[in-house]
Structure 1
Amino acid sequence: MKEVNSNFFLTEEFIEKVLGKNGPLSKMPFYEYRKEQIRLASLFGEILEGKGIMLAEAGTGTGKSLAYLIPAIALKQRVVIATRTKALQDQLADKDVPLAIEILNQKATYLKIKGKANYLCLFYYDRFRRNPLFKDPSETDLYSIVEKWATTTKTGEKSELKELPEEIDFWNQINIRQERCLLSKCPFFEDCFLFRLKRNAEKADIIITNHHILFADCSLKAKNVSASVLPSFNNLIIDEAHDAEDSATTFFGVSVSKRMIEEWIYDCLREIQPEKRHKRKSAITEEVERFFTSFADIPERRKLNIEEISLAKNNLNSMISSLSNFHASLEKKIPEDIFIGLNERLKNISESLSFIIEEETRDYVKSIEKRNSNVVLSASPINVGNLIRETLVSKMKSLILTSATLSVNDSFDYISKRLGINADFHSIRIESPFDFRSQGLFFIPDSFPDPNSEEFLPNAIATIKNLIDFSNGRAFVLCTSIKNMKAIYEILKNDTRFPIFIQGDMPKGALLKEFREKGNAILVATSSFWQGIDVQGEALSLVVLDKIPFASPSEPLVEARIQELKEKGEDPFNLYQLPMAAMILKQGMGRLIRSKTDKGVVACLDSRLITKGYGKRMLKSLPPFPVTHSLDLVKSFFSRLK
């Protein structure tokens, strides 16, 4: 870990003139002078000059986005910025980057690149338009909106369609997807929104993308596949970097779902005469069903065992043979470009399944997961840090990783090792400017059933009822498991006077919109709501966390990573499980105080935070709220807010 000297192309004095009390930013109505923002921008500037790698933890409210955008734009070289969420991506592209360009009074071109599925595929849209088949007839009115938009859009980006719900079935039939893209063989290639975007990206100074695109790009380049959307670059800023390992694991891994195969069959059947479809479908789907019955007793997610892999190998060969024969029978009966595209998709399915089922490797963990009616087979890299280092970190002239939560107990050791970063990096921690001691309270019961006992959930629900009564609703109840989420919701929905929602009721964006508009609602949710959610103001005044969010040691990837550390003679609990849980807990607590005027209570119903040594160490990594064990004090706190 290294110190940073502030002698570089963009001096701290210049940044003070831009972001300081008399600078152009000070003329904006939302302006707040932030001394630490100026310091952060200066340090980011030195790294971008080519000084290596920086890990920067900047608490909520420090203004880190402008702190990295000012030097990134002033650099006058291409800089890629990758975020975890589309929400932050949109904020940067639509608000923060234009603002930074304005206050610098400097010309710069910038471009937003989202995941491929966010863009209209002209080829598949043309096919659908000629023969629209809706699984849900109620979507026909929404399709008419898409038809009008498709003739005028310059980007093909779905987010332009404000009237369109986040989740809509027919969009999956007309969007761009890696596994079915025809690339240069597509008759619409020259007009393709994605490749038009790629051409524009070659001219851009600032590219705003997300973790998924970044690591998909790394994965494709590692395989020497020329389907990358990002142009060449060697200056990179990863925001929300606490989540980078999970994103990288997804894209350096391999997965095939039952639905993916069914969609391939569906697209094949579209090309043959209607009267022949049923007979052909029956024969093929029988083979698919036989393959997936190789795997019995599929819970939410588990590791593949040797016996079922052995059975699946025989059934896999039979299924792929059947699919290949069906595809071959379509030659010269359907357009050549469609035939080639279907062949590429089948090849991808076949190679991925062969790797998952037949390849013997200690570097990947093989698993199966049931998601509603879908079944997903996966092979995930156990140590993704090595892959990140080889394909990304080692190729960067400058690399900044930043988030509100990167350190554990004032140390960056955990995140740096997980992301394949060696000891030779710069680091900085900047506390949030929010006054946690006066803005909030942290409730931890000092006497409570063990979180793994049968008595825990009834006691937790009773306590949550009390807390919600004190806060008059306005609460997130964040759970560590779907089981707990459903159990808590089922009790609360029949025993509360406040509007109540559960994750999955509606798309995430619509759910948050409803929550904000009600003003006194309760939202019961699980992992995806622990981070990346911003509800400012009085609509959210209570965040309840059911337990310390330890990852289940029986989860296949976690189990494999624990085993890997044990084989190295290292301590998996203190080096992996504990710091990971601490970072997620910190993220969960971060949902509450999002501005200087927010006030409220965080409650964690896990008394191990105060009874166990590791819990006390965890507390040191969390925002410095005053801690109380008294429900009466919580009640009094909320009474003073009225």
Structure 2
Amino acid sequence: MAREALALAAFDHVVSHAAGFRARSGQREMAALIAHTLSGVSLGDGAVSSEAGLPERGIAVVQAGTGVGKSAAYASTVIPLALAQSKRVIISTATVALQEQLIAKDLPALAAALPQPFAFALAKGRGRYVCRLKLDQLSGGDAASADLFESDDTPSASDTSPDALAAHTVASAAATARSAERWQARGQQYVQWAHALDSGRWDGDRDRLDEPPEAELWSPVAAERHTCTARHCPSYNSCSYYQARARLAQAQVIVVNHDLLLSTLGLHALPNPEECYLVFDEAHHLGAVAQGQFTASMDLMRTQWLDRLPRAVEEVAGALQYTPGADVPALARELKAAQSELARMAMQRMGENPEWLALTGRTGATSLLTGTVRSGATPAIRSESPSPVRPEPFDKLRTGSVEGPAGSSRAGLRQAQPERMGAPSERVSAQTERWGAAGAPVVDRFEGGALPTGWVETVSRLHANASALLKILEAMATQLKANARENPGDAARCAKLYSRLGVLAPRLQSAQETAALWLQEPPAVSEAGQPRQAPLAKWLEAGVQHGLVTLTAHACPLQPGSLLRHHLWNKVRGAVVTSASLVTCGTFDHFLHESGLAYDDAVVAREVQSPFDHARQGRLVVVQTDADPKNVEAYTREMLATLMADLRQVARGALVLFTSKAQMRRAQELLERGEHAELREVVLVQGEASRTQLLRRHGERVAEGGVSILFGLQSFGEGLDLPGELCEWVFITKLPFASPSDPVGQARADWLKSQGRDPFSELVVPATGARLLQWTGRALRTETDEAVVVCYDARLLRQNYGRRMLKGLPPYRLQRRVGEVLTDVSA
């Protein structure tokens, strides 16, 4: 076909004209597959080319390992195809590193090599830009705004015993002092930012600040949908976000992250998927990102914002001469009472959890609960239906609908959250890295998605009052926008009032959405005793910070594939889906199911040839230990002793990947002892400094001819690019199974068991195999690298599931080590 020939000709042109470009057989294979798959795709409304009268679709799923050059393969074929049809391309990635590589290196080189010019731009979420109106308010010392934007530092106490009240008084005083100090420091920083923005030294992009700001500093001035009046804002013409949007509108190629792409479906912030080509790089993250988008969470311990809400509504209503039509203070009181009652019940449940008792015993935390519902209190309103209310314009975070359990309507994907991290399981992993096993939050899951007896009435009241308040805010927001439109001279005042309402909307929405999901009934059971559809995962998470209890409620659907199929793939006509980690245990099956592509006739999946000679360049050594990895204490002791001996072989750079912070801490403790003191001098531990600083220090040591060894957790197992001497050894302390405290994984396992299926085989083994592929992938980064991967978990060879994982790894030379004896093993 003409389009296929055009795309391949463009690829060949880039190969011959791009400086420093070298053709690779796997790359050519990938380009040919993309050209063929997308050549018949019909883009745009009304485009029909199939015999069935439906638009022609094509989705190329490509496993392309390190060294293939996948970004050049897809960019040099897809972009010329789009330009020839006057269409656009969206390239979506999971990491900032790849976005920067595309924008700073790959796309400029391609633009220079192709005969037809094109413009490209990086799309960021609204929250990456400053809101000039908020910044002006806070840098000018607007006390009302500061009070509204400030978060609660401590919950209110319901336990009136002398000890509890004394502890609460101390905690409150400390929190008040911290708050005052923070706002003084923040105010100075906001003034500096305002001056930089006014002088043109800063463009309002968070990522262009000299030092990345902490979330609590940035959040009060971040642009966000809820507090934005768009064209009605007096700062619209100088708005950093809308200036970036204008530049985006001129680009033929847009680079974006998965979170932002999924969150903006249906919002017209990006080109319609039906009218453009899409490329998903690092696509193995899609399932986790989709699940994270659909997770609803509610903070149960912070309620002071509800005390401020009536005052804010009264101020805005008075300025508008508007009567809400409901008793706002009563609604806020009843919402607070319901939330406090739910917190009380949740803490009673936690009081029966051995992990929680162990955590609070270790930390000496004061379990301060929020206020409880008074006996005989009457809720302001009651809800007959838990379906989420979707007021406009605040509640535009979700689009479309997907049928959840009991036929309830579940809104679509949520607005991107810059600080959010993927699926619940990924957040559990991140918390373990940050807190460590000894202090990680405790998760308490409701099995089968069923709430305890007596909870539904409280959650229903919470949902009803949050929904009622959201409706009031929506009505007032609509009136404010109308006033600004009809009276431009009043736009500044309206925008300020709008922001006072908008800052409250996300908290109300979180409460409403989480409660709505919690109220969804577990699915009906068939005659065979099996649930007819997957339930929701519902759980509590409790932790301790600064000596105070944190408590959040969570809920999310279990099957990311169905979410992606409904919200994304049904709209996509032509796409490339690629990564180095799509094949796990030797097949695409796990990825295709998790990403919603398993039963899509438009999908063509293929693994292309790697340029690496893995058997020559790398070895995978599996160490036989006497202790079984299931015996954690004995195995950790033996493994660490062996690891310390092995680290003495390192001549330049090495990476040690641990499966828990507790395990890594034990290794650090060994390094502090006399016999390992010389090793401590060359080890850099994740968390001792920022990732950027650690990698810079690591590179400097190796460049100077010294030894440098990185200790890291899961986040160091993916995305680190350490070529040559920077990483000649990768040590894997244990097979990287997911955290056993992951509530979604537990709920999915229960669901599969109820269907007579094996969750370990279907979920755990493939997911671990994919993670192991990423971890071993840190070893070889170029065709001249040579490296050794050492795994201390003999289950990789000894167990059938370990052999399955091996099938998904590159064909390294495989060896078993018993003591000091190495023996070659056939894979």
- Quickly name the TM-score band, shorter chain normalised: 0.7 to 0.9
Counterpart of 1:437 in structure 2 is: 615
Note the C-alpha offset of 1:287. Answer: 8.7
Q: Relative to structure 1, is the Cα distance of residues 578 and 284 closer, same or farther in structure 2, using a 3 angstrom cutoff? A: closer
Distance in 1, matches of 2:114 and 2:622, equals 47
Distance in 2, matches of 1:104 and 1:264, equals 57
Residue 100 (structure 1) aligned with residue 110 (structure 2): yes
- The percentage of aligned residue pairs carrying the same residue is 26
Q: Relative to structure 1, is the Cα distance of residues 376 and 230 closer, same or farther in structure 2, using a 3 angstrom cutoff? A: farther
2:569 to 389, 393, 410: 393
- 1:419 counterpart letter in structure 2: S
Counterpart of 2:217 in structure 1 is: 170
Alignment of 1:15-34 (within 5 A): 15-19=11-15, 23-25=16-18, 27-28=19-20, 31-34=21-24
Checking the alignment, whether the CA contact within 8 Å between 1:79 and 1:206 is kept in structure 2 is: yes
Give me the CA root mean square deviation: 3.9
1:53 to 37, 50, 59: 59
Cα displacement string for residues 155-176 of structure 1 (whole angstroms, at most 9, x for unaligned residues): 5322222x21364641222223
Checking the alignment, whether the CA contact within 8 Å between 2:284 and 2:591 is kept in structure 1 is: yes
Counterpart of 2:206 in structure 1 is: 158
Counterpart of 2:296 in structure 1 is: 254
Counterpart of 2:782 in structure 1 is: 595
Distance in 2, matches of 1:137 and 1:521, equals 41
Alignment of 1:376-455 (within 5 A): 376-421=552-597, 422=599, 424=601, 425-453=603-631, 454-455=633-634
Checking the alignment, whether the CA contact within 8 Å between 1:120 and 1:193 is kept in structure 2 is: yes
Question: Is the deviation greater in 586-595 or in 492-501?
Answer: 492-501
TM-score, normalisation: structure 1: 0.83
Distance in 1, matches of 2:652 and 2:303, equals 45
Residue 64 (structure 1) aligned with residue 70 (structure 2): yes
Checking the alignment, whether the CA contact within 8 Å between 1:248 and 1:384 is kept in structure 2 is: yes
Q: Relative to structure 1, is the Cα distance of residues 342 and 618 closer, same or farther in structure 2, using a 3 angstrom cutoff? A: closer
Distance in 2, matches of 1:248 and 1:615, equals 28
Counterpart of 2:249 in structure 1 is: 202
Distance in 1, matches of 2:466 and 2:734, equals 48
Residue 8 (structure 1) aligned with residue 13 (structure 2): no
Distance in 1, matches of 2:63 and 2:185, equals 47
Distance in 1, matches of 2:642 and 2:278, equals 45
Residue 498 (structure 1) aligned with residue 681 (structure 2): yes
Question: Is the deviation greater in 402-411 or in 503-512?
Answer: 503-512
Counterpart of 2:443 in structure 1 is: 301
Distance in 2, matches of 1:248 and 1:511, equals 31
Q: Relative to structure 1, is the Cα distance of residues 346 and 411 closer, same or farther in structure 2, using a 3 angstrom cutoff? A: closer
SS of 2:570's equivalent? Answer: helix
Alignment of 1:60-459 (within 5 A): 60-75=66-81, 76=83, 77-131=87-141, 135=182, 146-151=193-198, 152=200, 156-161=204-209, 163-165=210-212, 167=214, 169-177=216-224, 180-181=227-228, 186-218=233-265, 221=266, 226=267, 229-234=269-274, 235-257=277-299, 291-296=342-347, 297=350, 299-304=441-446, 310-311=454-455, 314=458, 317=461, 335-362=496-523, 363-370=535-542, 373=545, 374-421=550-597, 422=599, 424=601, 425-453=603-631, 454-459=633-638
SS of 1:548's equivalent? Answer: coil
Q: Relative to structure 1, is the Cα distance of residues 340 and 269 closer, same or farther in structure 2, using a 3 angstrom cutoff? A: closer
- 1:623 counterpart letter in structure 2: P
Counterpart of 1:513 in structure 2 is: 696
Question: Is the deviation greater in 310-319 or in 338-347?
Answer: 310-319
- 2:135 counterpart letter in structure 1: Y
Counterpart of 2:30 in structure 1 is: 40
Note the C-alpha offset of 1:632. Answer: 7.9
1:462 to 623, 626, 641: 641
Checking the alignment, whether the CA contact within 8 Å between 2:60 and 2:605 is kept in structure 1 is: yes
Question: Is the deviation greater in 514-523 or in 83-92?
Answer: 514-523
Distance in 2, matches of 1:597 and 1:144, equals 51
Distance in 1, matches of 2:230 and 2:302, equals 19
Cα displacement string for residues 163-190 of structure 1 (whole angstroms, at most 9, x for unaligned residues): 2136464122222345655556654344
Counterpart of 2:417 in structure 1 is: none
Distance in 1, matches of 2:13 and 2:88, equals 24
Counterpart of 2:403 in structure 1 is: none
Q: Relative to structure 1, is the Cα distance of residues 109 and 268 closer, same or farther in structure 2, using a 3 angstrom cutoff? A: farther
Note the C-alpha offset of 1:85. Answer: 0.3
SS of 1:629's equivalent? Answer: strand
Distance in 2, matches of 1:476 and 1:187, equals 52
Note the C-alpha offset of 1:389. Answer: 0.8
Q: Relative to structure 1, is the Cα distance of residues 433 and 501 closer, same or farther in structure 2, using a 3 angstrom cutoff? A: same
Distance in 2, matches of 1:262 and 1:477, equals 45
Q: Relative to structure 1, is the Cα distance of residues 253 and 173 closer, same or farther in structure 2, using a 3 angstrom cutoff? A: same
Cα displacement string for residues 138-165 of structure 1 (whole angstroms, at most 9, x for unaligned residues): 778866763454232685322222x213
Checking the alignment, whether the CA contact within 8 Å between 2:300 and 2:340 is kept in structure 1 is: no
Distance in 2, matches of 1:255 and 1:372, equals 18
Note the C-alpha offset of 1:314. Answer: 3.3
Counterpart of 1:582 in structure 2 is: 769
Counterpart of 1:484 in structure 2 is: 663
Q: Structure 1: which 5+ runs fail to align?
A: 274-281, 636-642
- 1:437 counterpart letter in structure 2: A
Note the C-alpha offset of 1:593. Answer: 1.4
Residue 611 (structure 1) aligned with residue 798 (structure 2): yes
Distance in 2, matches of 1:63 and 1:364, equals 40
Distance in 2, matches of 1:426 and 1:622, equals 22
Question: Is the deviation greater in 589-598 or in 479-488?
Answer: 479-488
- 1:302 counterpart letter in structure 2: D
Checking the alignment, whether the CA contact within 8 Å between 1:294 and 1:312 is kept in structure 2 is: no
- 2:458 counterpart letter in structure 1: N
Checking the alignment, whether the CA contact within 8 Å between 2:227 and 2:501 is kept in structure 1 is: no
Distance in 2, matches of 1:6 and 1:604, equals 50
Distance in 2, matches of 1:383 and 1:309, equals 27
Residue 534 (structure 1) aligned with residue 713 (structure 2): no
Checking the alignment, whether the CA contact within 8 Å between 1:442 and 1:602 is kept in structure 2 is: yes
- 1:341 counterpart letter in structure 2: G
Q: Relative to structure 1, is the Cα distance of residues 381 and 318 closer, same or farther in structure 2, using a 3 angstrom cutoff? A: closer
- 1:40 counterpart letter in structure 2: M
Distance in 2, matches of 1:260 and 1:74, equals 53
Checking the alignment, whether the CA contact within 8 Å between 1:440 and 1:599 is kept in structure 2 is: yes
- 1:295 counterpart letter in structure 2: A
Checking the alignment, whether the CA contact within 8 Å between 1:288 and 1:319 is kept in structure 2 is: no
- 1:365 counterpart letter in structure 2: A
Counterpart of 2:155 in structure 1 is: none
Distance in 2, matches of 1:606 and 1:353, equals 40
